[in-house]
Amino acid sequence: METWQVIVLGLIEGATEFLPVSSTGHILLAGHFLGVDSPGKTFEVLIQLGAILAVLSVYFAKLWKIALAAPTDPGARRFIIGILLAFLPAAIVGVLAHSFIKSVLFNETWLICVMLIMGGLVLLVVDRMDLTPKYKDATEYPPSLAFKIGMFQCLALVPGVSRSGATIVGSLLMGTDKRSAAEFSFLLALPTMAGAFVYDLYKNWQVVDTSHAWSIALGFAVAFLAAVLVVRFVLDFISRYGFSFFAWWRIVVGAVGLFGLQLVS
């Protein structure tokens, strides 16, 4: 893999991981058109660790405070239980369907493009709905709501759907405001992405080529830096402008992807 390809893929991963546009869909499409084919798609999964650490670095103080308060604060314990409940559905389905997702769905580029377009249309509709939020603090979501959001996250096991997009749409439909929905999606990403990283590494360790260690390290670093910038600024952007920009982004990328597939077929 050429250095410029690694940098491009790292930027795409970090810039899109926490936006409702499907980082997996973007990086798989980019890899397809750039001619990048890592064994078992391990490069694409391993550089996600950079994005995970980006969220952890931005939210470390807040998460550390919650962890310290957990033994005595019911609210802190409720938040931790909520995150774990939200993580559980996708973890179970992801483990059971791992082989099918990686060997079949990850290789269906047309499906990724269609899901990008469909998800963009859904995001447009939901963003324009006149919804009255009942929950405005991601750390105060009740466990039952968190679990339901986790059910929506299962939809993102189909590449192109978007993990953050699915959880944000589910949150909005169940009474959250836009800012807290995005923030809960960021926080839910920590166990979800960490679990996916560890499990994928366990399943594919035999095809990890140590000669590609430099590429993985560089992709990791680029993804980390890009994700830090996105996480620091995207909440204010969403609070001010909503999700329409990301919805149209998805639709354009999906349409261009389908057009590109027709040209090379």
Q: What percent of the chain has pLDDT over 90?
A: 65
Long-range contacts, 233-237 (Cβ 8 Å, 24+): 234/18, 234/19, 234/182, 235/179, 235/182, 235/183
Q: Dihedral of CA 202/207/213/219: which sign?
A: negative
Average of per-residue pLDDT across 74-93: 96
pLDDT in tens, 68-81: 999 999 999 999 99
For 147, the token pair is 């679990």
pLDDT in tens, 13-63: 899 988 999 988 998 899 888 887 665 566 777 788 888 899 899 899 999
* Residue 44 near residue 27 (C-beta atoms within 8 A): yes
Show me where the domains of the chain are located: 3-264
44-48, 96-100, 103-107: segment of lowest average pLDDT: 44-48
* Residue 80 near residue 141 (C-beta atoms within 8 A): no
The model's pTM is: 0.89
Please say if the pLDDT value at position 208 is more than 70: no
Please say if the pLDDT value at position 263 is more than 90: no
Per-residue CA distances from 78 to 81, 106, 169 (Å): 5, 35, 22
Per-residue burial over 184-217, b = 16 or more CB atoms within 10 Å of its CB, e = otherwise: bbbbbbbbbbbebbeebeebbeeebeeebeebbe
Q: What is the pLDDT of residue 209?
A: 61
Phi, psi (rounded to 5 degrees) for 148: -65, -40
pLDDT in tens, 137-167: 999 999 999 999 999 999 999 999 999 999 9
Phi, psi (rounded to 5 degrees) for 129: -70, 145
**Integer Cα distance of 28 and 232 in angstroms:** 25
Q: What is the pLDDT of residue 253?
A: 96
Q: Report which of 58, 59, 57, 63 is spatially closest to residue 76, judged by C-alpha positions.
A: 63
* Residue 174 near residue 145 (C-beta atoms within 8 A): yes
String of DSSP letters for 148-162: HHHHHHGGGGSTTS-
